Amino acid sequence: MSSFIVFDLEFTTWPGAPERDWSAPGELREIVQIGALRLDADLAVADEFETLVRPVVNPRLSPYFTELTGIGQEAVDREGREPAAALGDFLGFCKGRSVLSYGNDMVVLGENVGWARARGEQVANGFLDNGFLNVRPWVNTLAPQTASANSGRLWEALGLPKPAAGAEHSALFDCHSIAAALRHLRAGGAVLPAGCVS
């Protein structure tokens, strides 16, 4: 097995938005943070990717989002990148590899690429060289105690040591939590899904 990518996104949200599936007027799932790990054949971290992204439609972060993620407006204003540039760099990081998420983050990624292109922006790299896979059903089937856990709490649900500095709802920390779960399940004899193979 060659290397593959584990990624996680933090995107704009408001009180009740998840329950409404972001269906209220103006509620778009604009990416604010991308985190990713390249894992080698032993599931060790070979490389990391992390960036902040400036939302376009809702440039002011909601207090709910900031409280949830710890990402403040000043940080996004100062360090956030234009969506097309951030997305292109992330897709370049993933190029030619399988890309895993714990949930359907690939749908949100696709929405954001589509919006950038609709604004006439060029997004370097593309999806076609990558196989995207939601590993949540696989993880939840093998470890039912994870069924109600978000990506950043997988390590806790499995009784594992904290995998990295930081906390849940930080995209890169959540990636480390997913990677810890994958290592734990494989150590217990599980065979990773076929989609993990590049």
SS3 21: coil
Total number of residues shown for the chain: 198
- Terminal Cα-to-Cα distance of the chain (whole angstroms): 7
SS3 181: helix
Tokens (6 digits) for 165: 């500095």
Count of CB atoms situated within 10 Å of the CB of 2: 11
Are residues 147 and 138 in contact, defined by beta-carbon separation less than 8 angstroms?
Answer: no
Q: Long-range contacts made by residues 143-148, C-beta under 8 angstroms, separation at least 24? A: 143/181, 143/185, 146/181
Could you report the per-residue pLDDT of 69-80, keeping only the tens digit for each? 999 999 999 999
Domain boundaries, the chain: 4-189
SS3 112: helix
Residue 156 and residue 143: Cα distance in Å, rounded? 12
pLDDT band at 194 (very low <50, low <70, confident <90, very high): confident
pLDDT band at 128 (very low <50, low <70, confident <90, very high): low
CA-based nearest residue to 94, from 79, 103, 105: 105
CATH H-level, domain 4-189: superfamily: Ribonuclease H-like superfamily/Ribonuclease H (3.30.420.10)
Residue 46 and residue 112: Cα distance in Å, rounded? 27
pLDDT band at 193 (very low <50, low <70, confident <90, very high): confident
SS3 178: helix
Residue 90 and residue 92: Cα distance in Å, rounded? 5
pLDDT band at 197 (very low <50, low <70, confident <90, very high): low
pLDDT band at 126 (very low <50, low <70, confident <90, very high): confident
Q: Backbone phi, then psi, for 121, in 5-degree steps? A: -90, 145
Residue 74 and residue 52: Cα distance in Å, rounded? 11
